[in-house]
Homo-oligomer: A and B are copies of this chain.
Amino acid sequence: MKTFLLSTALLLGVFSAHAAIQSKTIDYMQGDTPLEGVLVWDDAVTGPRPGVLVVHQWLGLTAYEKHRAEMLAQLGYVAFCADIYGKGVRPKDTSEAGALAGKYKGDRQLLRARVNAGLDELKKSELVDASRIAAIGYCFGGTTVIELARSGADIKGVVSFHGGLDSPTPADGKNIKTKVLALAGADDPFQKPEDLTAFESEMRDAKVDWRLIFYGGAVHSFTQPDPGFSNPGAKYNERADKRSWADMKQFFAEIFQ
C-alpha cells in the first residue's frame, strides 16, 4: 500500500516539484526574552531568494503558521515563523490567548520590538535575499505586520489577513516605507467600522502605498480551518481563503519583481 501511494505520488508529481521542504527551529532573542521561531525553505531552490516573515494569530506559533510557511516555501520563498509571545509561551486556551494578544496589542512598542526581532532573524539567513522581504500575518499577526510597517521597517510589503487595523497612534502611519495590502472579511464583526475608517485615514494622510480588499461573505478568521473558538463571526471560508492567497501571490509578484 505504501509503495502504491508513493508511486501514485510520484506519478502525480507531488514530490518531484518540491522534493525537499526543510524546516529548522531557531532560538533567538528580543532583549532578554528568548523566542523560538521556525525557518522553512525548499532545498531544491538554489541561491538567495525573497524572504517572508509569518506572524501568528492569537494562539501563538502553531502548526497553522508552519503549514503556511511550507506553502510559501513551495512557492520558492524562505519563510520564517516569528514568535511574538516567547519560547514555550503557547496559550493552552482562548482565555490565555486573549490575555496574551491583549497584552501585546496594549503595548505596541513591545509588539514592534518583538516582530522586528523576527525580521532580523529572517534577514540573517544565508538563504535570503535581504533586499526582498515581506511579512504576512493572521488575525493578531495581521495587526502585528501593520505595526511592523508603522515601526518603519524597510521591507517590500506587508499583508494583513483579517487583522485588526486600529492604531493607538495613527500619526505613526508617516513612518511607513513599505507597501501595505490589507485583506478583510466583508462581514467580519470583529472589524469595527470606525477602525476601518481610521485605518483608511491613517494610510491616506501618510500617503502610504496601500490597498484594502473586502471578501464578500467572509467573516473573521476566514483563512483558518480552526480559529480556536466557536463563534459564527469567526469561520473558515474556502473561497475567501483561496482568493486571499492568490491576492497575496499577485502582490508578491509585484513587490519582488
| Shortest distance between the CB of A246 and any CB in chain B (Å) | 6
List the B residue with the shortest CB-CB distance to A240. Answer: B211
Q: Judge whether A103 is part of the interface by a CB distance below 8 angstroms.
A: no
B216 adjacent to A213 (CB under 8 Å): no
List the B residue with the shortest CB-CB distance to A215. Answer: B211
- Which A184-199 residues have a C-beta within 8 angstroms of B? 186-187
* In the complex, chain B residues whose CB is within 8 Å of the CB of A200: 186, 214
List the B residue with the shortest CB-CB distance to A203. Answer: B216
Number of interface residues of A (CB under 8 A): 23
Q: Judge whether A153 is part of the interface by a CB distance below 8 angstroms.
A: no
* In the complex, chain B residues whose CB is within 8 Å of the CB of A207: 217
A209 adjacent to B213 (CB under 8 Å): no
* In the complex, chain B residues whose CB is within 8 Å of the CB of A211: 213-216, 243
List the B residue with the shortest CB-CB distance to A200. Answer: B186
Q: Judge whether A14 is part of the interface by a CB distance below 8 angstroms.
A: no
* In the complex, chain B residues whose CB is within 8 Å of the CB of A254: 243, 246
B213 adjacent to A213 (CB under 8 Å): yes
A217→B214 CA distance, assembly (Å): 17
A209 adjacent to B239 (CB under 8 Å): yes
* In the complex, chain B residues whose CB is within 8 Å of the CB of A250: 246-247, 250
* In the complex, chain B residues whose CB is within 8 Å of the CB of A214: 200, 211-213
Ranked 6 nearest A-B pairs via Cβ: A210-B216, A212-B214, A213-B213, A203-B216, A211-B215, A211-B216
